[in-house]
């Protein structure tokens, strides 16, 4: 009896050990992924340890400079969701008269969004790694989030199926009634579409919810821009229109998308990406537009994120960069050795 009890206890302990190793393995894999993503996308500004003035781009960036991610007293005031939302927000136009910015909105142009570049799971991995920089752990339950999205999709699918059945039944009823009237009157009677308009609207609404749920689940594990090719835009415009677009693009470049956080003009700005003083000579506006819309589609390993530019914004920034035509820097003339 005692031996049997010991065997049961041993079996349970073994299962717990296996579960712990599996859970630990998942956690370490997530942390490893977070470290790799942080190194690729964040370290040049935030530094290897998250300290200020540690990243090679930190001192070149316009103010405000990146936060000290190693400062536990400050970082502990933020929830995991706050950090996630900062990384995956939509960019705001901070120009006077630009976007409406709420008190709780994070609106620092030089901190890019990764909402359109990384999957939700990848962003949570970065949040988890950032937590280690100030000695904390990720509390947010990522697996529960995935389960929630999966169940949400199932619920949305069930709702759509029910709405579709109701619509089809109402449409058939209206069609049958029209057919009966036609037989009775010996005249063609049109189907009363208004009689099932309510069901049709409900089905359309349910389809919209279903599509949203599908996108959310897809974006949890798949990068939003993966496989998304950007069509060539029509950049035809008059010189006056081009000048107007360039003026808008200049504002967006500085105050919404924070391009100067990574790129420099006339020696001012970041140094993660190339200087853009001669972009008008080097880069085709159509190419720039497509690059701005989805950099990873054109160069998978690039560190430049997709910032969620609208078609209009991408066109405006492209036209602004087309005006960047600084003369080539003259190479210093070597002095002749004294004879």
Whether 8 is covered by a domain: the verdict is: no
Which tens digit of pLDDT belongs to each residue from 85-141? 999 999 999 999 999 998 888 889 999 999 999 999 999 999 999 999 999 999 999
Instruction: Tell me what pLDDT residue 186 has.
Output: 86
Same-domain status, 24 and 117: yes
Mean pLDDT, to the nearest integer, of 179-183?
A: 92
**288: closest CA among 313, 271, 270?**
313
Encode pLDDT of 203-232 as tens digits: 999 999 999 999 999 999 999 988 888 999
pLDDT at residue number 5: 44
Instruction: Measure the CA dihedral 82/29/67/137, to 10°.
Output: 60
Query: Is 11 domain-assigned?
Result: no
- Is residue 69 domain-shared with residue 174, that is, in the same domain? no
- Find residue 264's DSSP bridge partners: 269
d(CA 84, CA 125): 10
Asked whether residue 25 falls in the same domain as residue 123, the answer is: yes
- Reported as a single tens digit per residue, the pLDDT across 134-170 is 999 999 999 999 999 999 999 999 999 999 999 999 9
Domain interval for residue 97? 20-133
Q: What proportion of the chain, given as a percentage, has pLDDT over 90?
A: 82
Which of 103, 133, 163 is the endpoint of a domain? Answer: 133
Q: pLDDT of 47-62, one tens digit each? A: 999 999 999 999 999 9
Mean pLDDT of 311-330: 94
One domain for residues 112 and 48? yes
DSSP 3-state of 10: helix
Looking at the fold, whether 38 and 112 belong to one and the same domain comes out as: yes
Alpha carbon distances (Å) from 321 to 76, 135, 251, 290, 317: 40, 42, 12, 13, 6
Q: Is residue 157 part of a domain?
A: yes
Reported as a single tens digit per residue, the pLDDT across 29-38 is 988 999 999 9
Among the residue ranges 20-24, 40-44, 193-197, the one predicted with the least confidence is: 20-24
pLDDT at 12 over 80: no
Residues 6+ apart with CB under 8 A from 337: none
- Residue 171: inside a domain: yes
Q: Count Cα atoms within 13 angstroms, Cβ side, for 173.
A: 11
Distance, CA of 25 to CA of 20 (rounded, Å): 8
What pLDDT, on a 0 to 100 scale, did the predictor assign at position 19?
A: 40
* CATH, residue 285: 1.10.760.10
Contact call for residues 285 and 237 (beta carbons, < 8 A): no
Look at residue 278 and tell me if it is in a domain. Answer: yes
Residue 333: is its pLDDT beyond 90? no
Q: Mark whether 123 and 36 lie in a shared domain.
A: yes
Residue ending a domain, among 186, 221, 256, is 221
Same domain, 80 and 161: no
Nearest to 285 by CA among 226, 224, 237: 237
In a domain, 244, yes or no: yes
pLDDT at residue 2 is higher than 60: no
- Does one domain contain both 127 and 198? no
- Going by C-beta distance under 8 Å and a sequence separation of 6 or more, which residues neighbour residue 1? none
Identify the weakest region by mean pLDDT among 17-26, 169-178, 207-216. 17-26
Buried b (16+ CB within 10 A) or exposed e, 300-323: eeebbbbbbbeeebbbbbbbbbbe
Residues 164 and 197 in one domain: yes
Q: Is residue 15 part of a domain?
A: no
The total domain count for the chain is: 3
Q: Can you tell me the mean pLDDT for 315-323? A: 98
Task: Give the pLDDT band (50/70/90) at residue 27.
Answer: low
Whole-model pTM: value is: 0.83
């Amino acid at each position: 009896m005692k031996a049997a009890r010991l065997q049961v206890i041993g079996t349970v302990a073994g299962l717990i050990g296996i579960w712990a190793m599996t859970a630990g393995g998942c956690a370490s894999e997530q942390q490893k992924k977070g470290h790799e993503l942080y190194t690729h996308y964040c370290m040049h500004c935030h530094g290897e340890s998250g300290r200020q003035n540690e990243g090679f781009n930190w001192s070149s960036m316009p103010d405000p400079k990146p936060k000290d991610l190693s400062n536990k007293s400050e970082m502990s005031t933020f929830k995991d969701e706050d950090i996630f939302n900062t990384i995956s927000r939509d960019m705001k136009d901070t120009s006077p008269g630009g976007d409406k910015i709420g008190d709780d909105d994070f609106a620092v142009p030089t901190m890019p969004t990764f909402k359109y570049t990384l999957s939700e799971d990848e962003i949570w991995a970065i949040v988890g790694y950032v937590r280690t920089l100030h000695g904390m752990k990720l509390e947010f339950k990522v697996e529960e989030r995935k389960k929630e999205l999966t169940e949400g999709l199932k619920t949305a699918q069930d709702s759509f199926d029910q709405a579709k059945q109701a619509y089809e039944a109402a449409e058939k009823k209206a069609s049958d009634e029209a057919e009966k009237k036609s037989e009775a009157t010996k005249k063609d009677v049109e189907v009363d579409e208004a009689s099932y308009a309510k069901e049709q609207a409900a089905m359309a609404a349910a389809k919209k919810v279903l599509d949203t749920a599908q996108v959310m689940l897809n974006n949890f594990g798949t990068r939003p821009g993966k496989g998304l090719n950007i069509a060539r835009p029509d950049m035809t415009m008059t010189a006056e229109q081009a000048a107007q677009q360039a003026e808008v693009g200049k504002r967006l470049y500085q105050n919404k998308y924070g391009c100067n956080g990574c790129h420099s003009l006339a020696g001012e700005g970041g140094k993660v990406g190339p200087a853009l003083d001669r972009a008008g000579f080097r880069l085709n506006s159509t190419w720039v537009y497509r690059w701005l819309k989805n950099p990873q589609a054109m160069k998978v390993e690039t560190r430049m994120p997709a910032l969620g530019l609208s078609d209009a914004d991408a066109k405006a920034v492209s036209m602004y960069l087309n005006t960047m035509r600084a003369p080539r820097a003259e190479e210093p003339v070597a002095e002749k050795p004294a004879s």
